[in-house]
A and B are shown apart, each in its own frame.
Chain A
């Protein structure tokens, strides 16, 4: 229990340094663009592939599940839309990003720690936590909502293509289902969740990397710990935010 509180305390101390005034805005901007590319744009292919196939699978499962003649076929479109917008894209994709982006951040910063690169930054008089972490947090908070919106479109698109290809639903019924009682607030809810999850992914992973102590083995351990903690926190905040925003 003491260890947990010491982690929480150290995390908030690091965050206080992260949000300190940058030494030179231009250098932070360069890091921000670099982080947007490595953490965001490079994640696009895996998000696209997973979203397309998950949308397709949800559509097929829904079509085979609705066997009652009382359930209209367009309910398949409604189910696919709501599953993807409410849960799959914001939460499951964020869990996937925690694995890809979180381990990337933790191992990058952890390696810099064990090879004394962070000490070198400190010796130069640079606020190392701000320089290394702030651009990554901003990059994730900016780029993740775009990734999630793309994931939503591709998920719904995957369901539409596969639904027609497998002859489980017609294009008209699927599109009618997508439009049926559509609540734009669901998208707002998904994006709020995404922003909170993006902050968790970047900051918690950076924390584990920044406080790595030892050698290559510890970098691996930090990377694993970062992913595990991010996943737990995402699931916890998913529950809290759903209670707050939907209940």
Chain B
């Protein structure tokens, strides 16, 4: 479980995160949604320690990550997997080498065992016959899947995803969403996903947090998000004409009844 208590982050005079508190439960996909530039990625980087917070606490199973020394932080990070917006695959390594890399770094597995594990992780994300291709030779969706395979190779306890669907077509985005959801349950991980895609929210969001004006504006289950009376969240959800029409139709039907 991950808990954030009164986290604040500013860049100069610009406040990015203000007094943010929340709890991310184990075995659930926790989604942070918000407009572009609302500070979602900064918040995620604060959680994983890539950006230092100005004040507040980030607790991993009750232990304050910010107060840990370098060695303790490294040990926690060995339990993390992260899917970056662009995949962040190592350009100079093949797909297989990318997945094998964390295993080579942190386990004493033999070569065959590592390859076997890499193949298992790649098949888990529905990738076959791409082991010897370089990241520049595969599509965007495949890169994301390889990044997921690399992230789960060492059986992490925490999975972080920064806009896993950005730049993907709806069908591929759906495959990635489903994969994240299934892996979260299968490995009983604490998953935190940053997104602004409402399809993802409905597909995988066990718990949803809406970030607005540097603050946590709304928190709840995905089932309750569509019926919210929070004005700013409604504007965010029903920004598309299509969804707005559905919403108006539903409200009309409810009025008639």
Q: Give the interface of A toward B (CB within 8 A).
A: 23-24, 26-27, 111-112, 115-117, 119-120, 122-127
Mark the stretch among B86-94, B169-177, B234-242 that contacts chain A. Answer: B86-94
Q: What are 8 contact pairs spanning A and B, CB under 8 A?
A: A23-B105, A23-B106, A115-B91, A116-B88, A120-B82, A120-B84, A123-B160, A126-B74
Q: How far is the CB of A197 from chain B (nearest CB, A)?
A: 26
**The one of B50, B73, B77, B89 that contacts A124, using a Cβ cutoff of 8 Å:** B77
Q: Are A123 and B82 in contact (CB under 8 A)?
A: yes
CA distance A23 to B91 in the complex (A): 22
Q: Which residues of A sit under 8 angstroms from B84, Cβ to Cβ? A: 116, 119-120
Known A116-B85, A119-B50; contact A126-B105, beta-carbon cutoff 8 A: yes
Any A CB within 8 A of the CB of B224: no
Q: Which residues of A sit under 8 angstroms from B76, Cβ to Cβ? A: 125
Top 5 nearest A-B pairs by Cβ distance? A125-B77, A116-B88, A125-B78, A120-B88, A125-B74
CA distance A117 to B86 in the complex (A): 10
Q: Are B50 and A122 in contact (CB under 8 A)?
A: yes
Q: How large is the interface on B (under 10, 10 to 19, 20 to 34, 35 or more residues)?
A: 20 to 34
- Chain B, range 8-52, C-beta contacts under 8 Å to A: 48, 50
Known A111-B91, A117-B91, A119-B50; contact A124-B102, beta-carbon cutoff 8 A: yes
Q: Are B105 and A123 in contact (CB under 8 A)?
A: no
- Chain B, range 72-125, C-beta contacts under 8 Å to A: 73-78, 80-82, 84-86, 88-91, 101-102, 104-106
- Chain B, range 103-162, C-beta contacts under 8 Å to A: 104-106, 160
CA distance A123 to B106 in the complex (A): 13
Q: Are B105 and A115 in contact (CB under 8 A)?
A: no
**The one of A26, A111, A117, A123 that contacts B80, using a Cβ cutoff of 8 Å:** A123
Q: Are B104 and A124 in contact (CB under 8 A)?
A: no
CA distance A23 to B48 in the complex (A): 20
Apart from A120-B84, A124-B77, 12 more pairs, CB < 8 Å: A23-B106, A112-B91, A119-B50, A119-B88, A122-B50, A123-B81, A123-B82, A124-B80, A124-B106, A125-B73, A125-B80, A126-B105
Q: Which residues of A sit under 8 angstroms from B75, Cβ to Cβ? A: 125
Known A115-B88, A116-B84, A116-B88; contact A123-B77, beta-carbon cutoff 8 A: yes
CA distance A117 to B150 in the complex (A): 13
Q: Are B105 and A24 in contact (CB under 8 A)?
A: yes
Q: Are A122 and B91 in contact (CB under 8 A)?
A: no
Q: How far is the CB of B2 from chain A (nearest CB, A)?
A: 14
Q: Which residues of A sit under 8 angstroms from B160, Cβ to Cβ? A: 123
Q: Are A125 and B48 in contact (CB under 8 A)?
A: no
Q: Which residues of A sit under 8 angstroms from B74, Cβ to Cβ? A: 125-127
Q: How far is the CB of B63 from chain A (nearest CB, A)?
A: 15
CA distance A23 to B90 in the complex (A): 18
Q: Which residues of A sit under 8 angstroms from B90, Cβ to Cβ? A: 112, 117, 120
CA distance A131 to B74 in the complex (A): 14
